[in-house]
Amino acid sequence: MRYAKALLVYSTENKQDELVYEMAKVVVSNYASYPQLRHALENPVLGIEQKSKLMHAAAGSKTLGAFDKFIHLMLTNKREAYYQSTMLNYIDLYRAKSNIYSGKLITASQIDAATEKKLTSVIESQKEGKLEVQKSVNPDLIGGFILEVDNTRWDASIKRQLQTIKNEMYN
């Protein structure tokens, strides 16, 4: 957490906090996609230069000065094993600072941008902040959607409605 706080302060002072936030999301996504990344960074045989290349690659093709200095600091202090957790903490801190909420939107089929905007704007007006949604498709819903934000879940799926009717008929 200490490194994430320091990165947020430094990147904010240099007006790079939003760009570092985007890179942090890429790092977290790459950790999920490539579990061997963690093992490579924890490998004592790899040198600092190789680990630096891995950390930069995990953040995307182009990194900023603030992010470069952060990677150098982590490697100098031998904290590369905490790269993912530091990025997760940075994301949380940035979202809290910027009043950004994270949510998950599950639909039965792909939806267009206008429909997504309608759904998210309702939540944004209630929460007084910006909502970032992670979209996924689950055909088992038959129709409708499920929207999860923080600890709240709105289930407007046909599958749930059919289950409710079934439960009422058998009770």
Cα Rg, the chain, nearest whole Å: 20
pLDDT for 123: 82
Show which of 96, 116, 134 is a domain's final residue. 96
* Residues, the chain: 171
125 with 82, same domain? no
Q: What is the pLDDT along the chain (171 residues), one digit of tens a residue?
A: 999 999 999 999 999 999 999 999 999 999 999 999 999 999 999 999 999 999 999 998 687 888 999 999 999 999 999 999 999 999 999 999 999 998 999 999 999 989 888 888 888 888 888 989 999 999 999 998 999 988 889 899 999 999 999 999 987
89 with 154, same domain? no
Number of domains in the chain: 2
Domain of 90, CATH number, reads 1.10.520
Q: In this structure, are residues 120 and 131 in contact, taking their beta carbons and an 8 Å threshold?
A: yes
Show which of 59, 78, 96 is a domain's final residue. 96
Domain that holds residue 165: 99-170
45 with 62, same domain? yes
Distance CA 31, CA 26 (A): 9
6 with 29, same domain? yes
91 with 161, same domain? no
Distance CA 152, CA 3 (A): 30
pLDDT for 31: 94
pLDDT for 143: 92
54 with 17, same domain? yes
Domain of 106, CATH number, reads 3.40.30
pLDDT for 109: 92
Give residue 115's Cα distance to chain centre.
Answer: 22
88 with 141, same domain? no
Show which of 96, 129, 162 is a domain's final residue. 96
Helix, strand, or coil here: 105? strand
Rounded to 5°, angle at Cα 132 from 127 and 135: 125
Residue 12, both tokens = 């904010």
Which residues have CB under 8 Å from 103's CB, separation 6+?
Answer: 120, 123, 131, 132, 133, 134, 147, 148, 149, 150
pLDDT for 56: 92
92 with 112, same domain? no
130 with 77, same domain? no
